[in-house]
Amino acid sequence: MNGRSYHPRRRGGFTLIEAMATITVLSILGSMASFLIVDAVDGYVEAATSSQLHAELAIALDRLTREMRKIDNDETAGPTDPDIDSVTQAGTEDAMTWTDSDGDAYSLSKTGSNLMLAVDGEAAAVLLSDVTAFAISVYNRDNDAIVGDISGTDCDPIRRVLLDVTLSRQNVTESLRSKVFIRSTMSGGG
């Protein structure tokens, strides 16, 4: 008989009990750590989406604010009345049309989940996507709200426009609003 084949070699690894104990401890620690990792990743995704939505809102509202500041006078109505053609105040699907100082016609509306802006007869371009609410409020010279859907001469008293947009993406919701004083309705010096 070859003694070496029965030679009791030292074990190279763990016993089953040791291995099971290790796995148990690791799995408890791992499950605790995984909550932290999932929380951290969720937090990262939420913060990233939030900033992205805010940036998109800020860029779009910056542009709309500038466009609306150059709304023309409505010469036929009065020297301080704006050339706004219609305002739809439906709550979350609002719309507005106007003409600027270059004579270009603008149309701003929410179509599906997109906020669309059409300029001077061009095809409407997507200004914002994932829009869940778009509200326009208009105010007269005494800062009183003018409610309801208005068009034509009913738009003449408008002096200020408030835009309020809400975006929602990946369960993250962000809103931003901007108020615009229409400069062409200015009375008095500055």
Partner 1 sequence: MKRLCGNTWGRAAGLDFGLKSKGSLMSIRPRPGFTLIETIAAITILAVVIPPMLWAVQEAQIQRVNPMLASKARWLATEKLEDIIADRHSDSGSRGYDYLDVSNYAAQNKGDITGYEQFSRTVTIDPETDALFVPTVDGGYKTVTVSVGWDNATGNAMSLAISTVLTEYTP
Considering the complex, what minimum distance in angstroms separates the CB of residue 175 from partner 1? 6
User: Which C-beta is closer to partner 1: that of 44 or that of 151?
Assistant: 44
User: Which C-beta is closer to partner 1: that of 19 or that of 125?
Assistant: 19
- Amino acid in the structure at residue 113: S
C-alpha to C-alpha distance for 34 and 28, rounded to whole angstroms: 10
User: Which C-beta is closer to partner 1: that of 79 or that of 112?
Assistant: 79
DSSP letters for 101-127: TTS-EEEEEEETTEEEEEETTSPPEEE
Q: Is 115 exposed, middle or buried (0-12, 13-18, 19+ CB in 10 A)?
A: buried
Considering the complex, what minimum distance in angstroms separates the CB of residue 86 from partner 1? 21
Considering the complex, what minimum distance in angstroms separates the CB of residue 27 from partner 1? 11
C-alpha to C-alpha distance for 119 and 71, rounded to whole angstroms: 13
User: Which C-beta is closer to partner 1: that of 76 or that of 143?
Assistant: 143
Considering the complex, what minimum distance in angstroms separates the CB of residue 169 from partner 1? 15
Q: Which residues bind partner 1 (CB under 8 A)?
A: 4, 7-14, 18, 21-22, 25-26, 29, 33, 36-37, 39-40, 43-44, 46-48, 50-51, 54, 58, 61, 80, 140-143, 159-160, 164, 175-181, 185-190
User: Which C-beta is closer to partner 1: that of 32 or that of 123?
Assistant: 32
The distance from CA 141 to its chain's CA centroid, rounded to whole angstroms, is 29
Question: Quick check: 181 and 155 in contact, CB under 8 A?
Answer: no
Considering the complex, what minimum distance in angstroms separates the CB of residue 110 from partner 1? 18
C-alpha to C-alpha distance for 172 and 27, rounded to whole angstroms: 32
